[in-house]
Structure 1
């Protein structure tokens, strides 16, 4: 029984831990990406240091090779003039330099191999980091969308989109009714004014016209022209 209780407690603790991780997955992912980016930057620096060390090793190797060649020439000159003791000293120095040359060549080979592996690791890591960053942006967009959906579904908080659309439709209908009523009121006010009624009667041909028409003006002009003639 006691073991079962312990197992249940561990199970609930695990469930709580997983639920906490799920709720904070986006900030957790962002932090993990930042740490991964920092590690990749450190790897880049390691590659740069390895390349610099390899270049320095190449310079030292070239100097060793030059010294060996110089000592060999001098040793041959010493042997030609019976300078056996000096030639032996030169040979010993050459042997030491050849050991250094061999060690330098070995170090260069190791540097080249290490640099190749580091560069491949950095390239692969950078590709994975780019994919993670794209995934993070998508996850954030999805989270914001889910929050918006949750807010719209919460009847105790924001109004739903359907309710807002219905409110807008009612508002537009009310405004249209107000415009129609205002236009009708304007027409009724105009129809009740005496001057408007007189103008309508005159335009219909009932009674004297209120103003001169184009035909009246032309007739008057012709009459003036005929009188002048």
Structure 2
């Protein structure tokens, strides 16, 4: 039972860690890329240091070669002058210098091999780092897009659709109301007796229903003439 309980705790801890890791995946990825970039920079420094040491070793090798050549020339001169004691000392020194030169040659070979290896590792690391950086930018863009989708969820889009349908229904009802009002006006205009009389009178059928300006003026003239006749008699 205790073993199962411990297994359960480990399982819960693993799941909790997985949830936290997934939730903060982008910050974790950014920090990991920064760590990778630092490691790549350290690799560059290591290559540079190794190359500098190799250059120093080459200079040391050249210096030893020149010393050996100079001592050999002087030793030959000493032998020609029967100074074998000096020649022996010079020969012993040449032997030590040649040993150092051989070590320097071996060191240069190791440096060359190590520099080639470090450069290969560095190129591979730089390539992988660039791929990680491109992937991180893509992941960040995808995360922003997903956050925008969360800000405007499907429920909001469905609300937009519902609002559009409501507007269409309102416009349809308003159109129906306008058509009804026009029909009522037309019916009122064409259906009443008064309107029929007005239309007939305006067409000259029968007596006018309303006096025109000319009719009123003619009536007033006749009335004025009658009044004038009465005063003169």
Q: Verify same fold: TM over 0.5.
A: yes
Equivalent in the alignment of 2:38: 38
Equivalent in the alignment of 2:159: 163
Q: 1:143 to 1:94 in 2, by over 3 A?
A: same
Equivalent in the alignment of 2:128: 128
| Superposition CA RMSD, Å | 2.2
TM-superposition CA deviations, 1:110-144 (whole Å, max 9, x none): 11111111111110000000110111111111212
Query: Size of the alignment, in residue pairs?
Result: 171
Q: CA deviation at 1:81?
A: 1.2
TM-superposition CA deviations, 1:204-225 (whole Å, max 9, x none): xxxxxxxxxxxxxxxxxxxxxx
Taking the aligned partners of 2:128 and 2:143, their CA distance within structure 1 comes to: 22
Q: Give the structure, 1 or 2, with the largest relative contact order (CA under 8 Å, sep 6 or more).
A: 2
Taking the aligned partners of 1:168 and 1:74, their CA distance within structure 2 comes to: 106
Equivalent in the alignment of 2:153: 153
SS of corresponding position for 2:152: helix
Q: 1:83 to 1:165 in 2, by over 3 A?
A: farther
Taking the aligned partners of 1:79 and 1:8, their CA distance within structure 2 comes to: 90
Taking the aligned partners of 1:136 and 1:42, their CA distance within structure 2 comes to: 22
Equivalent in the alignment of 2:106: 106
Taking the aligned partners of 1:166 and 1:137, their CA distance within structure 2 comes to: 37
Q: Which has the larger radius of gyration?
A: 2
Equivalent in the alignment of 1:49: 49
Equivalent in the alignment of 1:198: none
Taking the aligned partners of 1:70 and 1:93, their CA distance within structure 2 comes to: 12
TM-score for the superposition, normalised by structure 1: 0.69
Taking the aligned partners of 2:130 and 2:162, their CA distance within structure 1 comes to: 45
Equivalent in the alignment of 1:204: none
Q: Report whether the alignment pairs 1:19 with 2:15.
A: no
TM-score for the superposition, normalised by structure 2: 0.68
Which 4+ stretches in 1 moved above 6 angstroms? none
Taking the aligned partners of 2:141 and 2:116, their CA distance within structure 1 comes to: 38
Q: Report whether the alignment pairs 1:72 with 2:68.
A: no
